[in-house]
Structure formats: C-alpha cells, structure tokens
Amino acid sequence: MRTRTVLDAATIESLLAAAVAAPSIHNTQPWRFRLDHDSQVLEVRSAPERTLPLTDPTHRAQYLSVGAAVFNLRLAAVHLGWRPDVRLLPDHRDPGLLAAVRLTGPLDPDHEPSDSGLYQAIARRHTSRMPFTGRPVPEPIVAEMTTAAQAAGARLHVPDFAGRRRLLRLTAAGEARNHSHPDRAAETLAWINAPGADSSYGIPASALGPPDAGRRIPMRDFTGPRSVVHRPALFFERHIQLALLWTPHDRRDDWLRAGQALQYVLLTATAHGLRTSLLHQAMEWSDLRDAVAPPRHKRCHPHMLIRFGYGPDGPGTPRGPGDCAA
Ligand SMILES: Cc1cc2nc3c(=O)[nH]c(=O)nc-3n(C[C@H](O)[C@H](O)[C@H](O)COP(=O)(O)O)c2cc1C
C-alpha cells in the first residue's frame, strides 16, 4: 500500500498507460491529459484534431471513448493506492474539459480493495473481430456485466432472439448507409493503417476481421468498396450473443457515463475470459439510433451494441504516448 501523498513520475506513467489502453472509435484516442501538480488534479480533455466530423458530428462516440479512458484511470488509481475523485464536465466555461480526476490521499484501510482482476484485464482486452465459438456464456457472467453497467450509471439490455434479429437488421442498415456514403467511407478509411505503416493512431489492417460468410452478423467493413485488403469471408457464430448499452438520458455527461459503463462491461467480460467486439454502425444515423431503443422503452438512449463470447483474442493496436501536459 502506498504511503506517499505526492504523485511521482512512475505513478503518473502507470495511470496514463491504463487510460490510453481504452477502446476508442476507429482508435482515434480522442483524449489529452494535463496534470496540475499543486492540486493533483489530472484533467482529461478532448483532442479536437482526432475527431470524426461525419461519423460522429455530435461527438457522442468521442465522449464514450473518453469515458472508457476515465474508467481505466479510476481503476488504475485505486490499484495504485490512490483515491480518485472524478468530476465529469466540471467547468461549463471550458467545454473541452471532459473530466477532472483529483487524486487524494491514501485509500482508507477499510476501503474496498481494488479489483486486481479488472485492472489486469485493462492490458488484456482487445477488440476481437473474428468468429466466436458460439459456446453460451453462463448467466452469472452476463448478470455481472449487467450489474457493472448499472454501477457506472448505464443499463445493459440482453435481447431475446427477436430483439437480436431487430438489432442486427438495424446495424446492417447503418453499415449499408456508411458504405454507400463516399465521404463517410473515406473518413473511416483514413483511420486504417496499411500493413507496415508506423502510426500510433488508427487501426492496423491486421486488426480487421473477415466478413460473415453466413451474412448474419454485419461486422463493420472499415475499408469500403475500394478495399485493398481482401479478407475471405468466414462463418461466424450462429447464435450471436449481444448486449445493448443505453442510458436513461442523453446529455453530454450521460455519454461519459456510458463510456465508463462500456469499459466496466468489457473489462468484466475480459476478466472472465470472454472476447468482445463492438457494433456501433446503427448509432451513427439518428433515425436508426432512435429505432434501436427496444419497443415501449421510451427513455432508452442507446449507445453501443456489444458482441461477446468465447473465441480468439484480438490483436493489440497501437497507442499514442499518453503524454501529460503540466
Ligand atoms: C465509440 C466506439 C465505437 C466503436 N465502433 C466499432 C465498430 O463499429 N466496429 C468495430 O469493429 N469496432 C468498433 N470500436 C472498437 C475500436 O475500433 C477499437 O476500440 C480500437 O480500434 C482500439 O482497439 P482495441 O479495442 O483492440 O484496443 C468502437 C469503439 C468505440 C469506443
């Protein structure tokens, strides 16, 4: 247990390494960090140069990504013996400041011990875009994922057969629209790194997956019709396991909470040996996003469709340095 009360360089490095390991849309890593040494407040800011104006004009997906990074930061702080006091959108005059994490004194001895399984999962979690085995995930694990989402201020809906079909249909509609929209397709393609390219941002072509030969699961085709990376189709799991992450409100702070919840769910799944991938295409068109809400769920504001199951691990993707401006 830590006894010092001043953040040292090694601690800051560990905190930032955990934060930047979070998932982000197209691996844009749309965050920046600034540490105020006097107050020991770590600011998490948006990185306006790494946004997606066409795919994410409202910045909701950017906030989800930043929320996921904030969750990792909290988890790492507790793991290292610090108490993180997180404030979302702490200053309305400074819209680029998305969260402020004050790291205060040592954790109380009776404080809940940090969950080291979740902390270890930060580095192990990778998006896996390959077919899963289809082996059913035991109900207690799904219940734990649902509890995790709720603890972070969001909800997880696990649809039945008809609900899954409806969500996949809407995702396929989003995918088709993205494909036939030349400017959006070009925006996405710009974040795919050709084999051998040396970039700290964007998705390496080697991390992309094949299309589903059974045409049931609309995995995102990041490279579009002019693809130079040809991947033969493979048969994906017949019984896809899906969960829909949503919040009861749709404000900027809800998006940050949804991002934290997303990461809590993904790490919980990873800690249990599951693999995950994300299907966000329907959320990128406002009419489809509205249609994603389960019927009779008037207050459901959907954020993400999470595919989970057993299968091959995804490859690691690069990260920027996670520097911290003083
Ligand atoms: C808001 C958001 C939307 C995403 N949408 C998709 C998606 O539609 N399809 C997909 O394969 N991955 C999606 N991802 C996963 C990112 O591509 C992935 O997190 C990023 O490339 C980094 O890789 P990693 O998750 O393996 O660390 C999304 C991630 C976030 C946070």
Query: What pLDDT digit, counting tens, does each position of 61-81 carry?
Result: 999 999 999 999 999 999 999
Domain tally, the chain: 2
Task: Give the number of the atom of ligand 1 that is nearest the alpha carbon of residue 24.
Answer: 31
Task: Give the number of the atom of ligand 1 that is nearest the alpha carbon of residue 281.
Answer: 8
Same domain, 189 and 104: no
Same domain, 273 and 180: yes
Q: Is 314 in the pocket of ligand 1 (CB under 6 A)?
A: yes
Q: How far does residue 160's CA lie from ligand 1's centre (Å)?
A: 24
User: Is there a domain that residue 131 lies in?
Assistant: no
User: Is there a domain that residue 41 lies in?
Assistant: yes
Parallel, antiparallel, or unpaired: how do β-strands 82-88 and 41-46 relate? Answer: unpaired
Q: Is 281 in the pocket of ligand 1 (CB under 6 A)?
A: yes
Nearest CA to ligand 1 atom 17: 26
Task: Give the number of the atom of ligand 1 that is nearest the alpha carbon of residue 316.
Answer: 26
From the list 157, 155, 149, 156, the residue with the least C-alpha distance to 71 is 149
Same domain, 159 and 200: yes
Same domain, 177 and 209: yes
Task: Give the number of the atom of ligand 1 that is nearest the alpha carbon of residue 259.
Answer: 31
Residue stretches of the chain with pLDDT short of 70: 1-4, 108-114, 225-229, 326
Same domain, 90 and 218: no
Instruction: Return all residues near 191 (Cβ < 8 A) that are at least 6 apart.
Output: 26, 27, 28, 52, 201, 202, 203, 222
Q: How far does residue 222's CA lie from ligand 1's centre (Å)?
A: 11
Supply the pLDDT for residue 251: 98
Supply the pLDDT for residue 224: 78
Question: Residue 269 sits in a domain of what CATH number?
Answer: 3.40.109.10
Pocket test for ligand 1, best of 280, 285, 304 (most atoms within 8 A of CB): 280
Supply the pLDDT for residue 4: 59
Same domain, 301 and 219: yes
Q: How far does residue 122's CA lie from ligand 1's centre (Å)?
A: 15
The residue type of 161 is: F
Q: How far does residue 48's CA lie from ligand 1's centre (Å)?
A: 18
Same domain, 154 and 297: yes
How many alpha carbons fall within 13 Å on the CB side of residue 195? 5
Q: Is 29 in the pocket of ligand 1 (CB under 6 A)?
A: no
Supply the pLDDT for residue 59: 98
Same domain, 183 and 295: yes
From the list 258, 267, 265, the residue with the least C-alpha distance to 300 is 258
User: Is there a domain that residue 94 lies in?
Assistant: yes
User: Is there a domain that residue 322 lies in?
Assistant: no
Of the residues 57, 88, 119, which one is the last residue of a structural domain?
A: 119
Same domain, 93 and 241: no
Q: CB of 93 within 8 A of CB of 13? A: no
For residue range 76-121, list pLDDT tens digits in order: 999 999 999 999 999 999 999 999 999 987 776 666 556 789 999 9
From the list 33, 152, 165, the residue with the least C-alpha distance to 101 is 33
Task: Give the number of the atom of ligand 1 that is nearest the alpha carbon of residue 203.
Answer: 21
Q: Is 62 in the pocket of ligand 1 (CB under 6 A)?
A: no
Supply the pLDDT for residue 77: 95
Supply the pLDDT for residue 5: 75
User: Is there a domain that residue 323 lies in?
Assistant: no
pTM to 2 decimal places: 0.96
Supply the pLDDT for residue 196: 84
- What does the alpha-carbon distance between residue 174 and residue 307 come to, in Å, rounded to a whole number? 16
User: Is there a domain that residue 66 lies in?
Assistant: yes
Sheet holding 301-309, edge to edge: 155-157, 242-247, 301-309, 275-279
Domain of 115?
Answer: 9-119
Same domain, 106 and 248: no
Q: Is 307 in the pocket of ligand 1 (CB under 6 A)?
A: no
Same domain, 113 and 146: no
DSSP 74: H
Q: Is 126 in the pocket of ligand 1 (CB under 6 A)?
A: yes
Q: Is 27 in the pocket of ligand 1 (CB under 6 A)?
A: yes
Same domain, 246 and 146: yes
User: Is there a domain that residue 24 lies in?
Assistant: yes
User: Is there a domain that residue 212 lies in?
Assistant: yes
Q: How far does residue 15's CA lie from ligand 1's centre (Å)?
A: 21
Rounded alpha-carbon distances, angstroms, from residue 16 to 33, 135, 294, 324: 8, 35, 37, 8
